[in-house]
Structure formats: structure tokens, C-alpha cells
Amino acid sequence: MRVRADFNPILNDDRLTRGLDDAEARLLIEWLIERVESATCTAEDIENYCKRARAIARFVALWCHEGSPQGALQLAATERFRWPLPTEPMDACDLMHAILTWEG
């Protein structure tokens, strides 16, 4: 098992879960921890995972909580998200789960 210090960039970054409710924030943090545990990660790899997670969190917040699908779609284009974009309103937890499953 990895040393807890490997998780500090994740656990100490409140930007990862900003704008999310507890359920989708938990999904995102668990996904990040699994990524770090399952691979040999450098500090740069962990930062890249965190950057990706912040973008995903922002997308979910825009789409589900802020009612700004246009902003979410613009972010998706900028970040070059490859997963299927939602076409209608979705529950934030369901959307986060679908995205993270696709991100695998």
C-alpha cells in the first residue's frame, strides 16, 4: 500500500471538489485514489490526474449544479473530453459515475 504522503496532493486540494455535492465528490476522490494506488505514479503523474479531476468536477458542476450546459460544453471542447457528452439534464452523481467509468 502506498504511503499516505502520495495522497496529500489529492486530499489537500479543495479545488477538486469545489461545486460538487458529497456523493459526486466522494466518487471523484475514490477514483483518484484508485488511480494512484494502481500505478507507479510520479508527483507529475499525480498532478496530471488532479488536473483532469478538477476539469471533470467543473464540468459536472456546470452541467448539473449551475445550469450552464453551454459552459460545460465549452469546457469539454477546451479539455478535449472524449467521453460521450450528456444530451439532457442528469443527476450529478449519475453523470460523475458515467464519466469516471468511461475514464476508467
The whole-number pLDDT of residue 41 equals: 81
Global pTM reads 0.89
The neighbour count for residue 4, using CB atoms within 10 Å, is 8
The whole-number pLDDT of residue 40 equals: 80
Q: Residue 30 is part of which domain span?
A: 4-103
4 Cβ contact partners less than 8 Å away, ≥ 6 residues apart: none
CA distance 14 to 66: 18
The whole-number pLDDT of residue 1 equals: 45
The whole-number pLDDT of residue 57 equals: 97
CA distance 98 to 96: 5
Query: How many domains, in total, are found in the chain?
Result: 1
The whole-number pLDDT of residue 14 equals: 86
The whole-number pLDDT of residue 4 equals: 62
Q: What is the pLDDT along the chain (104 residues), one digit of tens a residue?
A: 445 667 778 877 888 999 999 999 999 999 998 988 887 888 898 899 999 999 999 999 999 999 999 999 999 999 999 999 999 999 999 999 999 999 98
CA distance 51 to 69: 21
The whole-number pLDDT of residue 2 equals: 46
